[in-house]
């Protein structure tokens, strides 16, 4: 996927960060790393606390070479925390329940969509959701489509 063409904030789903470390998928790794670099450099990329939690869980337990606590802390401070702009409220969870009901998405996926919506993102980058679908002004794009 080329550089993000649209202006304004864009939301990165957890799988983008996981692919940054997936040596078995070098093309996806390259795209993911480019997206994270762009998110940090432009300060337009955003994530939620859910993305932080999901990524750290995967990195500490499921990577072929799991992160050490030190490595996890370093990535948290240099990549995840600078991008984390969404923090949940009761209204957020109520909105996510409505999005889940409306779309048929699992609750955890609805949380991602809802966070992107609340952050005024026009674009949500995720491999796991329906590429091209629009929900409440957010367009979902699979940055790995065509690889």
Domain boundaries, the chain: 10-141
Contacts of 54 (CB under 8 A, 6+ apart): 14
Q: Which of 17, 32, 94 is nearest to 63 (CA)?
A: 17
Residue 6 pLDDT: 61
Question: Binning pLDDT at 50, 70 and 90, where does residue 2 land?
Answer: very low
DSSP state of 123: E
Q: Is pLDDT of 117 > 90?
A: yes
Beta bridge partners of 138: 135
Report whether CATH 3.40.720.10 matches the domain 10-141: no
Predicted model pTM: 0.94
């Amino acid at each position: 996927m080329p550089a993000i063409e649209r202006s304004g904030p864009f939301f990165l789903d957890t799988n983008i960060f996981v692919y940054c470390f997936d040596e078995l998928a070098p093309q996806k790794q390259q795209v993911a790393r480019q997206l994270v670099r762009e998110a940090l450099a432009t300060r337009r990329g955003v994530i939620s606390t859910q993305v932080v939690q999901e990524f750290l869980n995967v990195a500490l337990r499921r990577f072929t070479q799991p992160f050490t606590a030190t490595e996890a802390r370093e990535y948290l401070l240099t990549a995840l925390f600078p991008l984390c702009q969404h923090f949940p409220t009761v209204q957020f969870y109520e909105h996510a329940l409505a999005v889940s009901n409306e779309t048929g998405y699992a609750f955890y996926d609805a949380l991602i969509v809802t966070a992107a919506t609340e952050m005024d993102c026009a674009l949500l980058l995720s491999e796991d959701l329906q590429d091209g679908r629009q929900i409440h002004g957010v367009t979902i794009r699979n940055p790995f489509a065509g690889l």
